[in-house]
Structure 1
Amino acid sequence: MSTIGTFTIRPLDPERDAELLHRWVTHPKAAFWMMQDATPEDVEREYLRIAAHEHHHAYLGLHDGEPAFLMEKYDPRYVELVGLYEPEPGDVGMHFLVAPTDRPVHGFTRAVITAVMEELFADPATRRIVVEPDVGNKAVHALNEAVGFEPEREIDKPEKRALLSFCTREQFEAARGASA
């Protein structure tokens, strides 16, 4: 994967990054992000809300210094999954969005999700990563499974039917070893 380049992750600046994020989240390839009709102001407002939330954080992922993906980290005890499953100590929720492009690079999205997982598991308190993608997002289901996620069940969220999936540190390491 060394041909992919270097990833860094920084906290999202809602005011500075809103215009960039608006282009990403309203792109047809980002349909599952459910912000297709958002205005730049809507995007800024949403990420200011996240920035102010104690249990939800947004980050901008850079590839060789250039913005390339969005990562969100949340505590499922308080955000997104409240009442939909029984959280365990060390659970961390995650969303990610690769910047839409007309020139996709083979293996790039897999490299991004791997970088996101490495970032989340860099915190020793993180024991398991939780995701809840739309049941219809088959591409992300395959990607999640490739890095160690195991689907548990479908759940109904207010905005979508989702596939609740989990990945422990051990499952992630096993999946990384299998792809090396």
Structure 2
Amino acid sequence: MSGIGTFTVRPLDPLKDAELLHRWVTDPKAAFWMMQDADLQDVEREYLRIAAHEHHHAYLGLHDGEPAFLMEKYDPRYVELAGLYDPEPGDVGMHFLVAPTDRPVHGFTRAVITAVMRELFADPATRRVVVEPDVGNKAVHALNAAVGFVPEREIDKPEKRALLSFCTREQFEAATARGVTA
């Protein structure tokens, strides 16, 4: 990614990574993650629950080998969006969270979402990525648009009003080819 470094992901270890994740998800910049008041045990429980779920997976994202972001992928037929839209074959749901930092790097978050999308589309079965960010999360709406997401409609989830958006492999490749993803 044009001088930003190398991104990789590994499966999240809910117990070993819980302290790190706790710092990330309770940071004021992670308000839309909705875990501001979580204690360490809450974080462990949530990620143990995800680890045990057949249709939901969490990964720790590394930047040049150092923890830098959280990535979740899920099957929207069973998790997050079950019953809220008509899923298509090859749909994959996604969440991502960039670690808080005191020294932000210009273009870093865009590079992270690009790396997340590349990881998801590395699976040939993935035809379309689905996201459901809070309607008030304007920063993530801009990032999603930059990698090719197209909003479809607002939906009501139990915990929030969300902007249901989709990005096909072709839309992602077109956005990346235009150079809008850093």
- In the superposition, the TM-score normalised over structure 1's length comes to 0.98
What do residues 121-171 of structure 1 show as CA deviations (whole Å, max 9, x unaligned)? Answer: 000000000000000000000000000000000000000000000000000
Per-residue deviation, 1:102: 1.4
Q: In structure 1, what is the Cα distance between the partners aligned to 2:180 and 2:31?
A: 31
Q: Which runs of 5+ in 2 are unaligned?
A: none
Q: Structure 1: which 5+ runs fail to align?
A: none
Q: Residues 3-39 of structure 1: CA distance to partner in whole angstroms, max 9, x if unpaired? A: 1000110000000000000000000000000000000
Post-superposition Cα deviations, 1:42-82, rounded to whole Å, max 9, x if no partner, equal: 00000000000000000000001100000000000000001
Aligned residue number for residue 179 of structure 2? 177
CA RMSD of aligned residues (A): 1.0
- Size of the aligned set, in residue pairs, is 180
TM-score (norm 2): 0.97
Percent of aligned pairs with the same amino acid: 91
1 CA distance for matches of 2:108 and 2:65? Answer: 15
Q: CA distance change for structure 1 residues 95 and 179 in 2, over 3 Å: closer, same or farther?
A: closer
Superposed structure 1 runs of 4+ greater than 4 Å apart: 176-180
Write the distance in 1 (CA, Å) between the matches of 2:2 and 2:146. 18
SS in structure 2 at match of 1:45:
helix
Question: Does the C-alpha gap of structure 1 residues 16 and 155 become closer, same or farther in structure 2, counting only changes over 3 Å?
Answer: same
**1:2 Cα deviation (Å)?**
2.6
